[in-house]
Amino acid sequence: MIEVRFHGRGGQGAVTSAELMALAAIDEGQYAQAFPLFGPERRGAPVVAFLRVSPTPIRIRSKVYLPDIVVVLDPTLLDIVDVSAGLKPKGTLIINSAKTIDQVQKDYGFKGRLAVVNAGKIAMEEMNVPITNTTMLGALIRAAGITPLSSMDLPLNKRFGKIAERNKKAMQRAFDETIIKE
């Protein structure tokens, strides 16, 4: 089973990211669950969402305490939240940042597998909005290979309708532009 924790801010789409990836995994014949962890937060407040994907039924129903992968949609959270808390020793940290991967590693002291993409820039260029949810899915698929990129087509079409193509372009660019350092 693969367990993922998403960190974002209200309105950025962390919850949507987890849900879309779960739908894609289910379409691929896997079992999946996605759910948020938040209270009365408002737009812009830190939020966390969780995703589990497994080839066998998932019986656990708690939040993800020891993720295999952590996805950070908003780089400002790196200064206020320990996003790597509980990350398994061979886990992957995927960060939206305009900084180089070496600079991110130096500034925050992350050890282990790190993936960085400038999802904010891609989202603005492809969709004209600073919402990085589908963009970061491209980075997640590149770094973790949970599903093929093409498996996101149906969930994106259902969720976004007319604007699904712009989301697909952003996701593809993030997939192509994600830098990974072991």
Residue whose tokens read 């260029």? 125
Nearest CA to 8 among 85, 76, 65? Answer: 76
State the architecture of 2-181 in CATH terms. 3-Layer(aba) Sandwich (3.40)
In a structure prediction context, what are the per-residue pLDDT tens digits for the chain, which is 182 residues long? 999 999 998 888 899 999 999 999 999 999 999 998 866 656 778 889 999 999 999 999 899 999 999 999 999 999 999 999 999 999 999 999 999 999 999 998 888 899 999 999 999 999 998 889 999 999 999 999 999 999 999 999 999 998 999 999 999 999 999 999 98
3-class SS of residue 177: helix
Buried b (16+ CB within 10 A) or exposed e, 38-56: eeeeeeeebbbbbbbbbee
Nearest CA to 171 among 139, 129, 124, 130? Answer: 139
Nearest CA to 120 among 170, 155, 181, 57? Answer: 170
Q: Which residues neighbour 94 within 8 Å (Cβ) at sequence distance 6 or greater?
A: 69, 70, 71, 72, 114, 115, 116, 117, 136, 139, 140, 143, 144, 178
Nearest CA to 181 among 136, 115, 131, 121? Answer: 115
Give the separation between CA 107 and CA 100, rounded to whole angstroms. Answer: 10
pTM score, whole prediction: 0.93
Give the separation between CA 41 and CA 19, rounded to whole angstroms. Answer: 19
* Lookup: tokens for 86: 């509980």
Give the separation between CA 73 and CA 157, rounded to whole angstroms. Answer: 22
